[in-house]
Amino acid sequence: MMSTLSFSSGLLGRQLSAAALALASCGTLQAQTLTIAAYPAVDSIAKSAATEWKKKHPGADIKIVSRSFADHHTAMTTALSTTSNLPDVMVLEVGYVARFAENGGLQDLSQAPFDIKAHQAKFVPYAFKQATASTGAVVAVPTDIGPGTLLYRADLLKKAGITESQLTSSWDNYVKAGVQIKAQTNAYLMPHARDMKDIIIRSNLQAGEGLYFDNKGKPLINTPRFERAFSLAREVRTQKLDGKINAWSTEWTEGFKRGQIATQMSGAWLAGHLNNWIAPQTKGLWRAAQLPEKSWASWGGSFYAIPKGAAHKPLAWDFIQMMTMQADLQLKAFKAEDAFPALQAVHKDAFMDQPIEFLGGQKARLLWREAAQKTTAIDVHKLDPIAEEIVNTELDKVLDQGKDIRQALQDAQSLLERRARRS
């Protein structure tokens, strides 16, 4: 297996070296500084690869600008809109890729000399699709992904007399199990009822459907998919199975530490966060499972993109190829930062078979690999962030004010239709 990885790395290394020589022969390499803008933990991954990149590009330097997740994307939004202070490479979370792609500020990597489509088969299919704009332009390259998983506290389930199959056989049984868990352990089934809505609307999408819009730009809010999502979320709230806790809040992290949250639907990366900094003292108590009803979904994922106004595009492209297509670096990032690789060659590595101590010795990466392969790409729309805000506002009215679900969906549909007509 390692020979396969080494061959791929060697081949790419020769390609990059050739590119470096070409640049040097043109006299463009000397005294150039490649600027990378990133957020944690992609910044750490980039820093760890900087030495190798410099060896491939003698005479060039590399500068990594790191900001918090929110500050980074705010800065990138400003940079693209003003075409000032642009980095050569910007890291983007998947939720921002579509937004920036539709605004036209990112380089189309499907065109020469990049020709990223020649490498499409190397990546997890849904991740590559996430970087493809409605025009067919490919504006970014995936580096890590977030296969959807259900993390649960095995000790709390045992105390409540609940098995994993009871938890995952259906969404209705998941809620029923939550009632028993709450009664026997006083732990919440999930942090927030909104989590239920978020997964259900991502399940069982039909051809031509995006999350909020169809392929003709028509909103899809007032549909059975959203009605089921709202109904299950309301059931969670009615049964007092959620703590009304927002993700990434202090209350959220404390809930994990104190055993007040029995399950969390998320990307596979959350297991690493729990182990590394959120709740390391809970090692051995957690397990991973596929989502109920085999609802394949993804949470998050990081991409490398080149702004159209970047100053050093050849160097930027060499860096992106190294970080996304060099198997040994992808594996290194996987081991160090739990960054589940978008590069499919790494999925064959023996590391996938190793038990995870934090998850009680479970070989959970095999579950996540299966989820990565079975997750289908969801078509994106530039108004998705606005649609999410509108839907969440109406869900809050249902959960907190008792608003009728069908009326809430109709109101959200009407508002989104008006916004779509103005865009």
Predicted confidence (pLDDT) at residue 380 exceeds the cutoff of 90: no
Q: Which residues of 323-353 are buried (b: 16+ CB within 10 A; e: fewer)?
A: bbbbbbbbbbbbeebbbbbbbbbbbebeebe
**What is the model's pLDDT at position 165?**
97
- Rg (alpha carbons) of the chain, rounded to whole number: 22
CB 260 within 8 A of CB 188: yes
Quickly state the pLDDT bin for 14 (edges 50, 70, 90).
very low
Strands 33-38 and 61-66: parallel
Question: Can 2-146+299-357 and 149-298+378-422 be said to share one CATH topology?
Answer: yes
Residue with tokens 């050849």: 314
CB 262 within 8 A of CB 178: yes
Residue 291's nearest CA partner among 173, 401, 184 is: 173
Residue 272's nearest CA partner among 164, 359, 145 is: 359
What are the structural domain ranges in the chain? 2-146+299-357, 149-298+378-422
Strands 263-267 and 61-66: unpaired
Tokens standing for 210?
């995006």
Q: List pLDDT tens digits, range 58-111.
A: 989 999 999 999 999 999 999 999 999 999 999 999 989 978 887 889 999 999
Mean pLDDT computed over every residue of the chain = 91
Please state, in angstroms and rounded to a whole number, the distance separating the CA atoms of residues 70 and 52.
Answer: 29
Predicted confidence (pLDDT) at residue 12 exceeds the cutoff of 50: no
Residue 140's nearest CA partner among 153, 151, 152, 127 is: 127
Of 121-125, 204-208, 419-423, which one has max mean pLDDT?
A: 121-125
Element containing residue 213 per DSSP (H, E): none
Q: List pLDDT tens digits, range 333-357.
A: 999 999 999 999 999 999 999 999 9
pTM for the whole thing?
A: 0.88
Helices 42-56 & 313-325 angle (0-180, nearest 10): 110
Residue 94's nearest CA partner among 252, 278, 305 is: 305
Write the CATH number of the domain with boundaries 2-146+299-357. 3.40.190.10
Strands 33-38 and 298-305: unpaired
Fold of 149-298+378-422: D-Maltodextrin-Binding Protein; domain 2 (3.40.190)
Share of the chain above pLDDT 90, in %: 82
